[in-house]
Amino acid sequence: MDASCRDWMSALPEELWDVPLTHLAIPGSHDAMSYCLDINSPLVRAESDFFRLLDGVFSCFTRPAIFRWATTQETLESVAAWLEAHPKEIVILACSHFEGMDDKCHESFIWSLKKLFGSKLCPQKESALTLRSLWASGYQVILSYECQLAVRHQELWPPVPYWWANQRRAHGVMTYLDWHKDLGRPEGFFVSGLNLTADRYYITKNQKESLRTLTYSNWEYVRTWLEEQSPGSDAGSLNIIAGDFVGSLPLCSAVIALNQKLCRKNSRRMKKHY
């Protein structure tokens, strides 16, 4: 992971500090935290070094499917500790795809999240979601929670739309994302998923390939498409851009670099006024 991505939010030009986070290009990791609260589930961690990953991504959109509470708690505690060391970085966490959890379990989990992150949790009522305003308020965590009970808690945000192509090749993913762009972006946060999908049948028939090898072999196609994208408020703009294996591919730096297009756009706008 490029060290320049550390503390990348505070390193943005000051002219972007007042741009809504929903209009910035934010790197994310798809399924970076895959655990399950089901005590009978086997503990499988495809990304066991989540914190090293987070230490590189820093503004990480996660899609946790959650495995064991002890592991999940340890992971979240490390996130909280990382935030203490990086007071100007904002993390977007999305809790979703819960299975087998009743209302009591949800309330217990929500309570633990609120206790852990405390005053760092940005409430839904916060109207100005900009870096400058969040820094001033001390908010560092935007927590999305996919459950009807979330409406009872002002600290929890609604589910974040995820554009998932469910395609094995980059061309299919890009075609799907371009189709979504033509329809227009959502008003709030949303994720454009660059992640590929290799089903069990394909892996069985192509045993020399894996999701990792597919991701690597398609990366240059993805990179070319990505560099042509722009953040902002326009209908075809992107916001959170997530992928797999972001710790070993330069996805984060490529996404962060897109924010320079906002600077150039602001510069052209100012010149027109003179």
Tens of pLDDT, residue by residue over 168-200, are 899 999 999 999 999 999 999 999 999 998 777
- The residue that leads in pLDDT, 209 or 251, is 251
- The residue that leads in pLDDT, 148 or 59, is 148
Confidence category of residue 37, pLDDT binned at 50, 70, 90: very low
What is the reported pLDDT for 201? 74
Classify residue 195 as left (phi > 0), alpha (psi -120 to 50) or beta.
Answer: beta
Contact 33, 44 (CB under 8 A): no
User: How far is 274 from 12, CA to CA, in rounded Å?
Assistant: 25
pTM of the shown model: 0.82
User: How far is 265 from 263, CA to CA, in rounded Å?
Assistant: 5
* Cα of 88 vs its chain's centroid, Å: 17
Cα separation values, 68 from 2, 28, 39, 111, Å: 31, 23, 6, 17
Lowest mean pLDDT among 8-12, 162-166, 214-218, 267-271: 267-271
Indicate if the pLDDT at residue 262 is higher than 80: yes
Indicate if the pLDDT at residue 31 is higher than 60: no
* Cα of 120 vs its chain's centroid, Å: 18
CA angle 91, 159, 243 (to 5 degrees): 55
- The residue that leads in pLDDT, 169 or 60, is 169
Q: Token pair of 98, please?
A: 């819960």
Q: Identify the H or E element spanning 273.
A: helix 260-273
CA angle 2, 73, 143 (to 5 degrees): 70
Indicate if the pLDDT at residue 61 is higher than 70: no
User: How far is 181 from 241, CA to CA, in rounded Å?
Assistant: 13
Confidence category of residue 35, pLDDT binned at 50, 70, 90: very low
> Collapsing DSSP states into helix, strand and coil, what is residue 163?
strand
What is the pLDDT averaged over residues 91-96?
A: 90
What is the reported pLDDT for 271? 52
CATH number of domain containing 27:
3.20.20.190
Indicate if the pLDDT at residue 58 is higher than 60: no
Per the structure, the complete domain to which residue 236 belongs is given by: 3-273
**Per-residue model confidence as pLDDT tens digits over 122-162:** 999 887 899 999 999 999 999 999 999 899 999 999 999 99
Instruction: Phi first, then psi: give them for residue 4, nearest 5 degrees.
Output: -70, -15
Count of domains forming the chain:
1
Task: Name the most confidently modeled range: 5-9, 24-28, 40-44, 248-252.
Answer: 24-28
- The residue that leads in pLDDT, 144 or 97, is 144
Indicate if the pLDDT at residue 66 is higher than 90: no
Q: Which are the contacts of 6, defined by CB distance < 8 A and separation ≥ 6? A: 55, 56, 58, 86
